[in-house]
């Protein structure tokens, strides 16, 4: 019975009951060392449980190390190096947060170009907590409605975004959330957007 299931299993069952299958979809999950563990592992597991293939993409060559609240945590295998991937080979992009992770990603030209290609393509992009910091570097947030961890609110507004304080925001295939406490809503909307496919591309800048 449902009340005997763990929170995450209940979450997955809810997704299965309300969302389309992601069978055949391929997702790029881009990260550096210092990602917030649950912001990567929970979306990754949900996507895989829904039938998607997920590649961890990174400037790191073999492994990436997680951050869990206030300490280093698990290591995960890197599936693809950022130099070896193209937007055309994926159906969606996911950017987990963590304070250290996006600070490194946003200074990597290959990462920024990869993320920019997704925004211009109209494919789903999902970013949580500090994850939207990397989106700033694309120059494509002008007029987009987003949310994030409050500490980067001003950065997003300065990039031209309309920042709102909600658990999840969807703006033409761009899904954003504030923090791990919003993961259930974030995952649900992320899977919904990926199942629907491509919308009209964002205008190029």
Mean pLDDT of the region 98-106: 96
What's this model's pTM, rounded to 2 decimal places? 0.88
Find the Cα–Cα–Cα–Cα dihedral 72, 35, 14, 167, rounded to 10°.
120
- Out of 9, 69, 130, 205, which one is annotated catalytic? 130
Q: Which domains does the chain have, with CATH numbers?
A: 20-196 (3.40.50.880)
Task: Say whether 8 is catalytic.
Answer: no
- Structure confidence at residue 5 (pLDDT): 43
- 56 Ramachandran zone, left/alpha/beta (phi>0; psi -120 to 50): beta
- Structure confidence at residue 15 (pLDDT): 52
- Out of 8, 69, 129, 205, which one is annotated catalytic? 129
Mean pLDDT of the region 27-54: 97
pLDDT bucket at 200, cuts 50 / 70 / 90: low
Report the sign of the C-alpha dihedral through residues 26, 110, 120, 141, in that order. positive
Q: What percent of the chain has pLDDT over 70?
A: 86
User: Rounded CA gap, 153 and 162, in Å?
Assistant: 9
Q: How much is the mean pLDDT over the chain?
A: 91
- Structure confidence at residue 4 (pLDDT): 45
User: Rounded CA gap, 189 and 65, in Å?
Assistant: 27
pLDDT bucket at 197, cuts 50 / 70 / 90: confident
Task: Say whether 9 is catalytic.
Answer: no
For residue 16, pLDDT beyond 60: no
* Terminal Cα distance for the chain, rounded: 52
pLDDT bucket at 1, cuts 50 / 70 / 90: very low
Element (H, E) at 98: none
Mean pLDDT of the region 150-168: 98
User: Rounded CA gap, 46 and 21, in Å?
Assistant: 11
For residue 10, pLDDT beyond 60: no
Tokens of 115: 């993320």
């Amino acid at each position: 019975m449902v009340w005997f299931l763990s929170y995450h299993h209940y979450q997955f069952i809810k997704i299965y009951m309300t969302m389309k299958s992601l069978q055949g979809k391929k997702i790029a999950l881009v990260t550096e060392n210092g990602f917030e563990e649950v912001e990567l592992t929970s979306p990754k597991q949900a996507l895989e449980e829904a039938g998607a293939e997920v590649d961890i993409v990174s400037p790191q060559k073999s492994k990436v190390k997680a951050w869990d609240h206030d300490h280093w945590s698990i290591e995960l295998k890197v599936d693809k190096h950022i130099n070896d991937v193209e937007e055309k080979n994926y159906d969606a992009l996911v950017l987990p947060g963590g304070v250290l992770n996006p600070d490194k990603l946003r200074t990597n030209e290959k990462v920024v170009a990869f993320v920019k290609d997704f925004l211009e393509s109209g494919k789903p992009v999902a970013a949580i907590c500090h994850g939207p910091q990397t989106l700033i570097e694309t120059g494509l947030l002008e007029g987009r409605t987003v949310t994030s961890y409050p500490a980067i609110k001003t950065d997003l507004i300065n990039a031209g975004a309309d920042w709102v304080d909600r658990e999840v925001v969807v703006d033409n295939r761009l899904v954003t959330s504030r923090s791990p406490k919003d993961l259930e809503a974030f995952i649900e909307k992320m899977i919904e957007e990926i199942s629907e496919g491509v919308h009209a591309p964002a205008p190029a800048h």
